[in-house]
Amino acid sequence: MNSKEVLRTENLSFSYSGLKSGISVLKGVSFAVERGEVFSVLGPNGSGKTTLLKCLDGILKQEKGRIFIEERDIRELSVREIARKIAYVPQLHKPVFPYSVLEVVVMGRNPYLSPFARPGKNDMSIAIGNLESVGALHLKDKLYTELSGGEMQLVLIARALSQNPLILILDEPTAHLDFKNQIMVLKIVSGLSKDKGLTIIMSMHDPNYAMLYSTRIMYLVKGKTSGIDTPDKIINSKYLRRVYDIETDTVKLNGKRWIIPSY
Ligand SMILES: Nc1ncnc2c1ncn2[C@@H]1O[C@H](COP(=O)(O)OP(=O)(O)OP(=O)(O)O)[C@@H](O)[C@H]1O
Ligand SMILES: [Mg+2]
């Protein structure tokens, strides 16, 4: 592992029904991510992106292969240790209890509190600062269960940031967001990587957003890696045909390349 590497997987395999069933969702996935990268995972629906991200956060236990966080095998880390290193923002989140938004965000501080201790002033101000940074401070006293899907997404990002993680994992962070908030969230996360050296690993669908905000991109197709490279090398008609079986054109506008579907 080189000194900049914060996460590495080696030959990762996973199946929801046990590998012996022969139905693997992840089939020997290997990649490494360096500190401060924005590493995006693209691939068709059902290709295993969510499953992969859940393995990286220890929510699912890989059945074969290894995951290293900094230099340590994830299996050697406690749940609390993982939560100080990795924060995970899920694709879908169904709230159960009617907590206030501020209570939800301050839960991000749990990995730093001793058992049964209540969050203190410092924890509250961290939570408020993170709500402000995602433009959601006005929601702080609302019930989390009564938010829109997009508002929930912003609050969950604020909660994840309150964990003060080394790696922020986001599963389709723009899925429920309106046009403005999609750009805002992607700017925030790429800004955190540039300014604070936070490492971002996220799944997404839009090749243009991936191209604009990622340092590197990995395609996942039927549980296998189908290319890892910088956006300029990997977001093009050839790869998109191979991964999604669609035809695309590339146009140049304001000095940037944009991918559009061919009609
Ligand atoms: N809890 C589960 N039990 C059994 N099979 C599952 C479970 N969750 C996902 N799968 C299956 O695993 C495969 C990969 O699913 P996954 O959610 O990882 O895909 P994805 O790439 O995130 O898709 P999407 O782009 O639609 O979010 C799919 O075939 C799915 O049906
Ligand atoms: Mg998914």
Q: DSSP for the chain, please give it.
A: --TTEEEEEEEEEE-TT-GGGS--SEEEEEEEEETT-EEEEE--TTSSHHHHHHHHTTSS--SEEEEEETTEEGGGS-HHHHHHHEEEE-S-----S--BHHHHHHGGGGGGSPTTPPP-HHHHHHHHHHHHHTT-GGGTTSBGGGS-HHHHHHHHHHHHHHT--SEEEEESTTTT--HHHHHHHHHHHHHHHHHH--EEEEE-S-HHHHHHH-SEEEEEETTEEEEEE-HHHHSSHHHHHHHH---EEEEEETTEEEEEE--
The residue whose CA is least distant from atom 27 of ligand 1 is: 45
Distance 91 CA to ligand 2 centre (A): 6
Atom of ligand 1 nearest to the CA of 52: 18
Pocket lining for ligand 1, CB < 6 angstroms: 16, 25, 43, 45-51, 91
Q: Which residues does 13 contact at the CB level (< 8 Å), separation at least 6?
A: 19, 24, 26, 27, 28, 29, 62, 63, 64, 65
Atom of ligand 1 nearest to the CA of 51: 18
Model pTM score: 0.94
pLDDT for 224: 97
Distance 181 CA to ligand 2 centre (A): 20
Taking a C-beta distance cutoff of 8 angstroms, is the pair 89, 170 a contact?
yes
Q: Where are the domains of the chain?
A: 5-92+164-261
The phi and psi torsions of 104 (rounded to 5 degrees) equal: -65, -45
The residue whose CA is least distant from atom 31 of ligand 1 is: 46
* Best of 13, 16, 220 for a ligand 1 pocket test (most atoms within 8 Å of beta carbon): 16
Residues 136, 140, 142, 145: what is their CA dihedral angle, to the nearest 10 degrees?
70
Q: Which ligand is nearest to the CA of 44?
A: 1
Atom of ligand 1 nearest to the CA of 17: 4
The phi and psi torsions of 7 (rounded to 5 degrees) equal: -145, 140
Distance 45 CA to ligand 1 centre (A): 8
The residue whose CA is least distant from atom 10 of ligand 1 is: 16
Atom of ligand 1 nearest to the CA of 47: 21
Half-sphere exposure of 252 (CA within 13 A, CB side): 2
Give the pLDDT of the chain (263 residues) as one tens digit per residue: 667 999 999 999 999 987 677 789 999 999 999 999 999 999 999 999 999 999 999 999 988 999 999 989 999 999 999 999 999 999 877 777 889 999 999 999 999 998 888 999 999 999 999 999 888 999 999 999 999 888 888 899 999 999 999 999 999 999 888 898 899 889 988 988 998 899 999 999 999 999 999 999 999 999 999 999 999 999 999 999 999 999 999 999 988 999 999 97
Cα Dmax for the chain: 59
Distance 48 CA to ligand 1 centre (A): 6
Distance 246 CA to ligand 2 centre (A): 20
d(CA 74, CA 67): 6
- Tell how strand 199-203 and strand 167-171 pair up: parallel
pLDDT for 1: 60
Distance 15 CA to ligand 1 centre (A): 10
pLDDT for 196: 84
d(CA 80, CA 33): 22
- Tell how strand 199-203 and strand 38-42 pair up: parallel
CATH number of 5-92+164-261: 3.40.50.300
